Chains A and B, each alone.
Chain A
Amino acid sequence: MTQPRFVALALVLVSLFAATPRIAGAAEELTLLATVTRVVNVPMIVGLRLLEKEDGVKVTVRDLRTPEAVMLAVIEGQGQVGTGFAPFYPAIEKGAPVRGVLELSRPEFVVMAKKEIGSVKALHGVRLASHSPKATVQSLLEYFLKTQHAGVQPNVVFIPEGSPARAEALLRGAVDAAAFDLTAAQVVNERAPGKFHILVDFTDQPVSSSTLVVNADFARKKPALVQKLVRRLLQSYREGARDPKFWVRERGETLKEIDDAKLEGQLRALVKIFDLNGGLERMKGPGAVQNLSFQVTTGNLSAPVSKWKPEQFFEAAPLEAVLKDVGRR
Chain B
Amino acid sequence: MVLALRAASVVAFLLLWEWAARVPISFNFPSPAATGAALLALVRSGAILTATLTSLQSLLLGFGAAVVVGVPLGLVMGVVRPVGRVARVYLDLLIALPTAALIPLVILSFGINVLSSAVIVFVFSAPFVTMNAYGGVRDVRPRLVEMARAFDASWLQLFARIVLPSAAPMVLAGIRYALSRAFVGLIIAELLLSPFGLGRLIMTSRSMFEHDRMFATVLWTLLLAGAALAALARLEARLLKWRP
Interface residue total, chain B, C-beta cutoff 8 A: 22
The majority secondary structure among interface residues of chain A is: loop
Residues 61-115 of A contacting B (Cβ, < 8 Å): 66-68, 71-72, 75-76, 86-87, 90-91, 93-96
User: Are B112 and A169 in contact (CB-based, < 8 A)?
Assistant: yes
User: Contacts A94-B209, A96-B209, A157-B112; is A75 near B204 (CB within 8 Å)?
Assistant: no
Does residue A262 face the partner (Cβ distance < 8 Å to B)? no
User: Are B104 and A168 in contact (CB-based, < 8 A)?
Assistant: yes
User: Are B203 and A133 in contact (CB-based, < 8 A)?
Assistant: yes
Residues of B within 8 A of A174 (CB): 107-108, 111-112
User: Are A134 and B104 in contact (CB-based, < 8 A)?
Assistant: no
A320 to B201, CA, bound (A): 40
A244 to B193, CA, bound (A): 35
Residues of B within 8 A of A172 (CB): 108
- Size band of the interface chain A makes with B: 20 to 34
Query: What's the minimum C-beta distance from A67 to chain B, rounded to whole angstroms?
Result: 8
User: Are A157 and B208 in contact (CB-based, < 8 A)?
Assistant: no
User: Contacts A94-B28, A159-B194; is A133 near B200 (CB within 8 Å)?
Assistant: yes
User: Contacts A87-B207, A135-B207, A169-B112; is A161 near B195 (CB within 8 Å)?
Assistant: no
Residues of A within 8 A of B210 (CB): 90
Give per-residue flags for B83-114: 1 if the beta carbon is below 8 A from chain A beta carbons, else 0.
00000000000000000000110011001100
B112, B193, B204: which contacts A129 (Cβ < 8 A)? B112
A190 to B233, CA, bound (A): 56
List the B residue with the shortest CB-CB distance to A65: B192
Residues of B within 8 A of A175 (CB): 112
Interface core residue of B104, B107, B204 (most chain A CB under 10 Å)? B107
List the B residue with the shortest CB-CB distance to A96: B27
Give per-residue flags for B4-28: 1 if the beta carbon is below 8 A from chain A beta carbons, else 0.
0000000000000000000000111
Does residue B149 face the partner (Cβ distance < 8 Å to A)? no
Residues of B within 8 A of A76 (CB): 26-27
Does residue A285 face the partner (Cβ distance < 8 Å to B)? no
B28, B112, B194, B208: which contacts A134 (Cβ < 8 A)? B208
A93 to B210, CA, bound (A): 10
A157 to B209, CA, bound (A): 22
B28, B104, B112, B195: which contacts A132 (Cβ < 8 A)? B195
Residues of A within 8 A of B203 (CB): 132-133, 160
Residues 190-235 of B contacting A (Cβ, < 8 Å): 191-195, 200, 203-204, 206-210
Residues of A within 8 A of B192 (CB): 160-161
A86, A90, A93, A161: which contacts B103 (Cβ < 8 A)? A161
Residues of B within 8 A of A300 (CB): 208
User: Are A159 and B112 in contact (CB-based, < 8 A)?
Assistant: yes
Residues of B within 8 A of A72 (CB): 26-27
User: Are A157 and B194 in contact (CB-based, < 8 A)?
Assistant: yes
Residues of B within 8 A of A90 (CB): 207-210
A175 to B107, CA, bound (A): 11
Query: What's the minimum C-beta distance from B206 to chain A, rounded to whole angstroms?
Result: 5
User: Are A68 and B206 in contact (CB-based, < 8 A)?
Assistant: yes
User: Are A91 and B104 in contact (CB-based, < 8 A)?
Assistant: no
Interface core residue of B103, B194, B200 (most chain A CB under 10 Å)? B194
User: Are B209 and A87 in contact (CB-based, < 8 A)?
Assistant: yes
Residues of A within 8 A of B111 (CB): 174
Does residue A282 face the partner (Cβ distance < 8 Å to B)? no
Query: What's the minimum C-beta distance from B50 to chain A, rounded to whole angstroms?
Result: 15
User: Are B27 and A160 in contact (CB-based, < 8 A)?
Assistant: no
A94 to B103, CA, bound (A): 33
User: Are B112 and A68 in contact (CB-based, < 8 A)?
Assistant: no
Does residue A187 face the partner (Cβ distance < 8 Å to B)? no
Query: What's the minimum C-beta distance from B191 to chain A, rounded to whole angstroms?
Result: 8
Does residue A127 face the partner (Cβ distance < 8 Å to B)? yes
Query: What's the minimum C-beta distance from B31 to chain A, rounded to whole angstroms?
Result: 15
User: Are A159 and B107 in contact (CB-based, < 8 A)?
Assistant: yes
User: Are B194 and A68 in contact (CB-based, < 8 A)?
Assistant: no
A300 to B210, CA, bound (A): 11
A159 to B111, CA, bound (A): 11
Residues of B within 8 A of A93 (CB): 209
User: Contacts A133-B200, A157-B112, A159-B112; is A68 near B209 (CB within 8 Å)?
Assistant: yes
User: Are A134 and B207 in contact (CB-based, < 8 A)?
Assistant: yes
A132 to B195, CA, bound (A): 7
The 7 closest A-B pairs by CB, nearest first: A134-B207, A157-B112, A133-B204, A75-B27, A94-B209, A90-B208, A90-B209
Given A132-B203, A159-B112, A161-B192, 17 other A-B residues pairs in contact with their CB atoms under 8 A = A66-B206, A71-B209, A72-B27, A75-B27, A90-B210, A93-B209, A94-B209, A133-B204, A134-B207, A134-B208, A160-B191, A160-B194, A161-B107, A168-B104, A169-B108, A169-B112, A299-B208
A-B contact pairs, 25 of them (CB 8 A): A66-B206, A67-B207, A72-B26, A75-B27, A76-B26, A87-B208, A91-B27, A93-B209, A94-B27, A94-B28, A129-B112, A132-B207, A133-B195, A133-B207, A134-B204, A158-B194, A160-B194, A161-B103, A161-B192, A165-B107, A168-B104, A169-B107, A169-B108, A172-B108, A174-B108
